[in-house]
Amino acid sequence: MERTVYDFAKQRREFEARNLKDLKINTNLTKQPLQKWMWQWYKLLKERLAEDIKDIKDLEAIEAKKKKTKTKAEKPEAVPLAPFLSCLTPDVLASITVMEVMSLPSTGGVEGGMKTTRALLDVGKAVEAEYQARILRRNGLPEKANNGPARTMSHQSLSSLLERRAQREAVRSEADKKKRRPEVLLEWSAPIRLKVGAFLVDHLVKIAKVEATKTENGITHKQEQEAFYHCYEHMRGMKIGVIRLNRIVAEQLEHDPVTPLVHPRQLPMLVPPRPWIDPQDGGYLTGRAAAMRIRECQEQKAHLEEASRQGHLAHVFDGLDVLGSTPWVVNKEVFEVALKVWNSGEEFAGLPPSSKNLKTPELPTDYDTNLKAKTDYQHAMRELEAQRRNNHSERCSVNYKMDIAHAFRDEVMYFPHNLDFRGRAYPIPPHLSHIGDDLSRGLLKFAERRRLGERGLRWLKIHVANVFGNDKISLDAREQFAMDHLEDIYDSAKNPLDGKKWWLKADDPWQCLATCMELRAALDSPNPIEFESNLPVHQDGTCNGLQHYAALGGDAVGAAQVNLDVADRPSDVYSFVARMVEEEIKKDIAAGMADLELISGRVSRKVVKQTVMTTVYGVTMVGARAQIERQLRDLGDIHHEKCWTLANYLARKTLTCIGDLFKGANGIQNWLSVAARTISRSVPETRTHFCETGYNTPEEFEAAIAAAAAKAAAKGSDAAKPLLTKTSETERIRHEQMVSVIWSTPLGLPIVQPYRKTVRKQVKTNLQTVFISDPNQRSAVSPRKQASAFPPNFIHSLDATHMLLTAITMNKAGLAFASVHDSYWTHPSCVDEMSGIIRETFIKLHTENILEKLRDGFIQRYGNFKVPIEDLLDEDIDRILGRSDVPEEVKQGVVEATGQRGLKLKAQHIEDQYEGDLFVPRPLPMPKQAAPADGSSSAEEATTPAVPPLRWVDLKYILPPLPERGDFDVSRTRQSQYFFS
């Protein structure tokens, strides 16, 4: 299925067309307009491509003859296009283009269309991927790829990681012997992908037509219209090229089956994924899949490949193999209910309606004279358009999920996983997987069934309360909640659409319905204890980012708020912060802020939850305000102008309250930001000479001076003119500040922050001029982004490490496992064992002195890097002057080089120096005086050699010490029953 998807698509349409023409059989081409149109476009495009590619070959052959004598290397834009268009046959190119363009509208970022750049790149990448897949098959990839060691390694039956690694090495050795894979498959450059994509998409836009019909007065009028059209729109102040779908096509896309539009490499697998052997080898049986999703960061790719060569990624690959080897099935009972709702077209349980009844606001009579009325009307119209766009996007997304679930309803399936650059694992199939929304999770169950037992039955009842949203009470109370609502549970399971619909009140209604059905089936069985269940039960962390911060800093207060410590009932940090904010509101109302009456008593945990959750992940004031504003709008009775002001107030109060509550987390977060800012402003010692002179080495500089002197002497001049470079010293320093923040997780995964200043290049295509960034071009880092993103990225890397450690340990224990970041899933009967494993792996992770190792790693990697004096902040200078391990000459040089700033901070440090009870005055260093105008100098000055001013400071002198650690013992988490619950 993976190998010849486009051939299969072509053959299927040809078969259906023959049936339609010769046998008069009803096929998709008669039942589904979308399939009929795609077949017509495919035939026309195939013929047009065959002609035009031949013309391009002839034209480029003539051009090549003219340029035979030219030896200069050509730019990527000047590379001939014909070889890339000829790598696949016109029929396959046509199939790729139609399928890829038709699959983009649901994810293209534009209602009823897609951004042009996105469409061109995606089609170009698809052509490249198909070509490479065929090259792999041509080089002897075995026909039955699901047999042999690769299949064995993907099963959970392996008893030890050593056996897994040994078999992995055997597979690698066997592949090398048989030469099954070419050593190198060169990637196409972005300009080439754009050119290929533009050529194909442009041809599709020109040939694709649909027939529009309209009936007036009993007469039907028909008109042929373009299926796609290219235009420009303004988005966020920028002019963006867009490819839009004809309204008829867009509407049909919401209703017709879309499985034919989805590439099998975006679908679940029917056999276990291949185990990961290296960063480019694993997952799907054919084609190239990457173990890490690297976006335009060659540095990350290089570090990852080096770590793989040195064998540091064995545990990371093991974790990915475990996640990918978990078998799944579609929950048919939930699917049948969802299908009835979907076919009804009604808005129900989060499913979007087929047509949203939105009232168009009336145009004010004083629109042209009343500025406020005009502004309100325009705002209401924007809101209306946004709701329409969102509904269309959601309809397309749900259509994909439902159609894929329908196609796989009788199959056992697997989700191959890979990582983002922070180490977080995601299923590669983007449409239907357990990491998706509530509907996606409700539609999926483990393929393997396990006996419930008494504890499993208890956890199944607890799970009802959890997915219903009643998860902030004790475990016993949650179990009792299920028993108290047993009648509602039975009614929901038997009559989900015609009964009392209790399940619709749940926070996660589709998961609640699935749990109700499973619990009813268990209780109705002859012996509920012996019932075999395959419903995943979740254990979720309590604001997992804050849990990691509390463990890193030994913060006892923070640990208690996020359930690291032992307690009788779970702490709810979101409700606690909401109460703190309410207290602040009361104080400010008493102080005369009357507008706050609108939100007094209405700040619930839901209002602040997202902001509290994302604080540890680096949410800014702007982001926090937007999060809270959305919640205030949902209240429905606050004017949009007031919403912004009140959201701004609540965002400030919420962030302040979180800072007061989690002081330890704040200290660590600040340290991580300062460390990243310092690293990103540093320059390797070997490049400082270039920054100062514009020449790479002292030898080059001296040679240039000698050449200038010789030139001056030849002209009879007294002295050589000063050497000038094209750029200033400041510009050279900024250009050389190219150091990204790099660290390794406790599992050995190297992580490179990819944030650099964007350098874009212009590429002219058939459709429009496109600006893209070139990942191979040197560009300086963005210190601001490096600093702000490091704290959340570091915490993400820790929770990813915890998850992978848990996955590996669960596999060793023979237990099924799946995860959605900090939500861990297993069978109901295995929850107790998983709970113990979660705690043990967390304790093991946080007894490793993570921050100390991180700082030592920075010193080892960047210690001798240099930071220019002009980039030092007052706090940096203060830190240098206050440290005892910094040489006195460095301190003195910093004071002199920074002038009054340095003198002021030096004075503060001197005032703090006492001997016993007596203050010992010390002389302040004075800034260097300018030389007299007449050029005279004292005898003392004449005999004292001039000391060059300090230009650079070693990074190790600036990097701050770690915040003081608290006294919380992370091993206490072992006894906390609500740590993950």
Tokens 């804050």 locate to 546
- Report the alpha-carbon distance of residue 416 to residue 276 in Å, rounded: 10
- Report the alpha-carbon distance of residue 321 to residue 146 in Å, rounded: 15
Options 437, 540, 588, 774, the catalytic residue? 540
- Report the alpha-carbon distance of residue 510 to residue 535 in Å, rounded: 13
Half-sphere exposure of 980 (CA within 13 A, CB side): 31
Options 256, 565, 822, 954, the catalytic residue? 822
- Is residue 280 within 8 Å of 294, Cβ to Cβ? no
- Is residue 913 within 8 Å of 882, Cβ to Cβ? no
Neighbours of 919 (CB within 10 A): 12
Half-sphere exposure of 945 (CA within 13 A, CB side): 2
The tokens for 972 are 């206490």
- Report the alpha-carbon distance of residue 722 to residue 744 in Å, rounded: 46
- Report the alpha-carbon distance of residue 867 to residue 438 in Å, rounded: 49
- Report the alpha-carbon distance of residue 641 to residue 731 in Å, rounded: 44
The DSSP 8-state label assigned to residue 936 in this structure reads -
- Helices marked H in 88-216: 90-103, 116-138, 149-154, 161-178, 190-207
Helices 116-138 and 90-103: angle between axes, nearest 10 degrees: 130
Q: Tell me, yes or no, if 540 is annotated catalytic.
A: yes
Distances (CA, A) of 310 to 278, 297, 314, 801: 11, 21, 10, 19
Half-sphere exposure of 685 (CA within 13 A, CB side): 9
For residue 797, the surrounding DSSP H or E stretch is: helix 783-812
∠ CA(542), CA(548), CA(552), 5° rounding?
A: 145
- What is residue 538's three-state secondary structure? strand
Options 10, 609, 891, 906, the catalytic residue? 609
Question: Counting Cβ atoms within 10 Å, is residue 149 exposed (0-12), middle (13-18) or buried (19+)?
Answer: middle
Q: Tell me, yes or no, if 609 is annotated catalytic.
A: yes
The tokens for 461 are 């009842």
Tokens 């340095």 locate to 902
- Is residue 447 within 8 Å of 412, Cβ to Cβ? yes
Half-sphere exposure of 207 (CA within 13 A, CB side): 22
Distances (CA, A) of 728 to 532, 731, 814: 73, 5, 63
The DSSP 8-state label assigned to residue 747 in this structure reads T
With CA atoms as reference, report the closest residue to 429 among 328, 580, 530, 540. 328
- Report the alpha-carbon distance of residue 54 to residue 56 in Å, rounded: 5
- Report the alpha-carbon distance of residue 699 to residue 708 in Å, rounded: 14
User: Annotated active-site positions, please?
Assistant: 540, 609, 822
